[in-house]
A and B are shown apart, each in its own frame.
Chain A
Amino acid sequence: MKTWLASTALALTLSTSLALPALAQEYTPDPNAKAGGTITITYKDDVATLDPAIGYDWQNWSMIKSLFDGLMDYVPGTTTLRPGLAESYEISEDGLTYTFKLRAGVKFHNGREMTAEDVKYSLDRVTNPETQSPGAGFFGSIAGFESAGPGGLSGVEVVDPLTVKITLSRPDATFLHVMALNFASVVPKEAVDAAAGDFGKQPVGTGAFKLAEWTLGQRLVFEKNADYWREGVPYLDGVVFEVGQEPVVALLRLQNGEVDVPGDGIPPAKFVEVMGDPAQAARVVVGGQLHTGYITLNVTTPPFDKVEVRKAVNMAINKERITQIINGRAVPATQPLPPTMPGYTQGYAGYAYDVDGAKALLAEAGLADGFETDLYVMNTDPNPRIAQAIQQDLAAIGITANIQSLAQANVIEAGGAGTAPMVWSGGMAWIADFPDPSNFYGPILGCAGAGDGGWNWSKFCDEGLDAMAVQADSLSDPTKAEERLKLWSDVYTGVMEQAPWVPVFNEERYTMKSERMGGDDALYVDPVSIPVNYDYVYVK
């Protein structure tokens, strides 16, 4: 049996978005980096949990990343996979068996050495329905997932203290990305048991930092893990997260030198002011984000069951103007995937803004006089303003859209139940869980998400495209990575031909930092660690 020896080169071929030379694979440490210093990050909301099996919001995602490690990881500031707690791995020729060799001598924050038993325990735990992990579904390709319970996952086997073998029930080209998700973090059983259901407040991992203090509603303090297994990092002695800070107040404090990074970003009301001041603008890092804002058109609700109508709506929306509403913090979108995602179709024009063309299509569908419909939108700024712009654009081709501005949970409910003819995704939009094109399909455009309560709010289900998606994800042979991305590109252009969405824009990230913060700009717009990669930034 032929096996591919694990190496960073393999990881490279899997992720072709950043065509880095093979040598750039291993992260080159910043020669100017200095050890020491403690930084302050602010957030409006308290942190919900630091349990890697539970945490699933953009706030705790990067915090958990710094406390825990998984078998796989990403090169800082990029979407390129690299081995984490696994030193190397082998994939069987049929793509169904992954054998991970673990690093020796890695210690948990409690001092105990990490072993293969811990890897098995962690995967058993996250897939056990009793854990109620929102990420359990990502592990669906592991053998025995369907019957996972207190007995554990039959597909995860401990070969020896430093070797784990994972058997899949179907080839899954995204599996290494799944192993890099927070949900796959390795946790020590004794600490989970000792916390008695409250591991999220008493986390113990192998990460670059350990939790030193958590005063509910006030602050969390991360302290450098001096025994961290990666050489030389982290640079910082600690990170203080102050919670309960309004974004406007956080900005004032940053200007006053009390805060290093406002975690919630630059408040929209202050954006023009900050960017208009050269001194402040110089401390803002701009980068792409794996995000798309879109309007869903419910294909099961007339008249959106007619493809002409859906295309007409696509042509009626003036995306340029909508990006102006958010002060140009985004680029107009042509397709579901954001430009920084592997598999993005370069040069695809999508539906250009064309009011006359849209009217003609409506007439073709027998709706020359237009119709009336509802547009659901989340009720926080700037979403209602964006909805008004959409409303005006639709009025120009004779469609009357009544805006239903509701709380987030209510919009999600209406979208999932299929009662919303149109939904503007802002505030709930899809940000990728991992940098792979498949992540934008299954739950939000595939048949699997189209059922009652699913996140596929357009209820679009094309079995032909679903089959293509399955085929693409079965190409786990890294030499077929190009072929796989081509298939995904075809899936998304196929989706656009049927126009169940209006892709509106891809948001850019704007991270503001204090004068004293050092490190490559890419670390401040890290695609997987928002707002910053705490393990690699430093104080000048």
Chain B
Amino acid sequence: MVYILRRLIQSALILLGVSFITFVLLYVLPADPVRQIAGRAATAETVENIRQQLGLDQPLFVQYGRYLAALAQGDLGRSYLQKTEVAELILSRLPATLQLMAAGIFAELVLGLSMGIAAALMRGRIGDQLLMMTSFVTVSAPQFVVSLLLLYVFAVKLGWFPIGGYGTLAHLVLPAITLGILGSGWYSRMMRSSMIEVLRADYIRTARAKGLGRARVVFRHALPNAILPVIAMIGIDIGIFMGGIVVVESVFGWPGIGQLAWQAIQRVDIPIIMGVTLVSAFAIVLGNLLADLVAPLIDPRIRLR
């Protein structure tokens, strides 16, 4: 309990740190949001007027203090250019991103775990080497290229899936696989080594000695034990995915917060950039926290301190 409390406080401090660093970085950015709002025909007077209205003429710490004060009341501010509440913009897009992330995690587990198990069973043989080489490729393949390739082959040429967009399960398949491919490389390697370790364990030898079939030994006895440490990694994945969704959402026209962030960055719409950064940081911190809390449940040798 004390541990959880301490971790929560730590998490809050991390979020505060993230908000401060992001705020400072956006403050020192050599691009003036006021000029983006005021337009190219604006007079110097108009520009100053808008700067005052938005409080951007104040010193950094005053601005940051105001931001935190509003944040404490759950107010993320209004978009400079769209004038809409940032919280509304993020909330309207969050479900799409969460859906994509869940599907992405599912895809990476299915792909990664099956590759890892197969490789472990074929250990040292050509199949193993081929699978591990594939994992190298999937880890290093640029997501932009992978997504366009998948779109071209499976949507345009074969017509199995819609060409981008959002709405049905069919829309979800290709972006989820694109996201999953990156992580599947890591998972296949983790799963392979975990599986090999378990297969060497005494209880597996016992199971085999009892005369159980190969499939039963692998899936009933080895897999549940080998999979646990791998599952514990999912929480950490959220951070990695946050980077990937910006690209994947853009290519597939997926209306999530990655797309929102990308457009806001191009328009120097600071309240949106701050909002999305904070929400992402929150998701990552939460993911890590969950991963740590779940770990001892899976493996009793781990103690929380």
Contacts and interface: CB of A to CB of B under 8 A. Distances in A.
A248 interface: yes
Interface string A232-255: 000000000011111011001101
Interface in A1-52: 44-46, 48-49, 51
Contacts of A130: 53
A46 B83 contact: no
A320 to B, nearest CB: 29
B169 interface: no
Given A135-B41, A451-B44, A453-B32, A248 B148 contact: yes
Contact of B83 (A56, A135, A200, A258): A200
B82 A200 contact: yes
B305 interface: no
A525 to B, nearest CB: 23
A3 to B, nearest CB: 30
B279 interface: no
Interface in A469-492: none
B266 A407 contact: yes
A452 B32 CA distance: 12
B30 interface: yes
A242 B42 contact: no
Interface in B265-287: 266-268
Contacts, number: 139
A416 B256 CA distance: 34
Interface string A256-293: 10100000000000000000000000000000000000
B162 to A, nearest CB: 9
Given A217-B256, A252-B156, A409 B53 contact: no
B255 A137 contact: no
A198 B79 CA distance: 11
Judged by DSSP, the binding face of A is loop
A134 interface: yes
B7 interface: no
Contacts of B266: 45, 407-409
A216 interface: yes
A436 to B, nearest CB: 13
Contact of A137 (B43, B81, B82): B43
Contacts of B99: none
B188 interface: no
A156 interface: no
Could you say which of B41, B46, B82, B155 has the most chain A C-beta atoms within 10 Å of its C-beta?
Answer: B41
B251 A443 contact: no
A375 to B, nearest CB: 17
A88 B277 CA distance: 53
A246 B250 contact: yes
B221 interface: no
Given A136-B46, A256-B156, A246 B36 contact: no
Nearest to B260: A217
Contact of A412 (B31, B44, B49, B148): B31
A249 B151 contact: yes
A244 B268 contact: no
Contact of A197 (B53, B83, B156, B260): B83
Contacts of A252: 151-152, 155-156, 163
A414 interface: yes
A410 interface: yes
Contact of B259 (A200, A217, A413): A217
A222 interface: no
B81 A197 contact: no
Nearest to B253: A244
B239 interface: no
Contacts of B295: none
Interface string B155-167: 1100000011110
A15 to B, nearest CB: 20
Given A54-B83, A200-B82, A413-B35, A48 B267 contact: yes
A132 interface: yes
A138 B163 contact: no
Could you say which of A245, A246, A249, A451 has the most chain B C-beta atoms within 10 Å of its C-beta?
Answer: A249
Nearest to A136: B46
B31 A407 contact: yes
Nearest to A200: B83
Interface string A132-161: 111111101000000000000000000000
B164 A246 contact: yes
A382 interface: no
8 contacts: A48-B81, A48-B82, A132-B37, A197-B78, A200-B82, A215-B255, A243-B253, A443-B41
Given A51-B83, A197-B78, A244-B249, 7 more contacts: A132-B38, A201-B82, A246-B253, A252-B156, A409-B29, A413-B35, A416-B32
Interface of A: 44-46, 48-49, 51, 54, 56, 129-130, 132-138, 140, 197-198, 200-201, 215-218, 242-246, 248-249, 252-253, 255-256, 258, 407-410, 412-414, 416, 433, 442-443, 448, 451-455
Interface of B: 29-32, 35-44, 46-47, 49-50, 53, 78, 81-84, 89, 92-93, 96, 148, 151-152, 155-156, 163-166, 249-256, 259-260, 263, 266-268
**7 tightest A-B contacts by CB?**
A134-B39, A217-B255, A409-B31, A244-B253, A137-B41, A216-B92, A218-B255
